[in-house]
Amino acid sequence: MEGAKFICSPPLRDTPTQKILWQHLQAGSLSLVSSDHAPYRYDDTGKFNAGNDVNFRQIANGMPGIEMRLPLLFSEGVNKGRISLNKFVALSSTNAARIYGMLPRKGSLSIGADADIAIWDPNEKRIAGEMHDAMDYNPFAGTEITGWPVTVLGRGRRIVDNGKLIAKPGAGQFIKRAPIDLTEHPGQSVPELDPDQNFGVNLA
């Protein structure tokens, strides 16, 4: 039943498909690298809450990924020459802030921005293993990672130091988003966004 750990949607991709996905990242077809982080523990409270002897469609769908997302992108992308450091920042921060109406307060190192900064050691080597969440497995366990965040600042204050969370409870802050800006990615209009076809609601 080890395979249950890796049941997720969309499914994990084979090597040829991974190569094509890297090409799309390089070309700018994809704006973000993210994770839905749908973690279920490998026990009867998570993956097997419907039982052990069930159809695979009854096994909880999802796996943990939020903590490994950026180290993997940095190790496999930047350190292996697939993407530049600037591209890494865009895929992990700037583009999300722009798309979701938070730029320039978020996703930017500029006067007036929040000074959210992750400081990386590009040469630190780690073997993926235990994570900082309540999960009992890491789907990338045993993978060698080169490059790791060592210090994180939130609004200019140190909140992670040498891998240890030192943020004070309640230090987070709600950020009201501006309307989504898709002017750089006009794409194709869909009926759901047309007020004439969606009961007069202006969604974009």
The model's pLDDT over 129-177, given as tens digits with 9 standing for 90+, comes to 888 888 899 999 999 999 999 999 999 999 999 889 999 999 999 998 8
Alpha-carbon distances of 118 from 2, 45, 85, rounded to whole Å: 34, 34, 13
Stretch (H or E) spanning 145: strand 144-154
Give the single-character DSSP code of 133: S
pLDDT band at 202; cut points 50, 70, 90: confident
For residues 52, 58, 59, 61, the Cα torsion angle rounded to the nearest 10 degrees is -170
CATH number of 2-179: 3.20.20.140
Angstrom distance (rounded) from CA 114 to CA 136: 34
Domain chopping of the chain, boundaries: 2-179
According to DSSP, the residues that pair with 158 across neighbouring strands are: 153
- Per-residue model confidence as pLDDT tens digits over 60-78: 999 998 889 999 999 999 9
Please say whether the beta carbons of 120 and 74 come within 8 A: yes
The backbone region for 158, taken as left when phi is positive above 0, alpha when psi lies in -120 to 50, beta otherwise, is beta
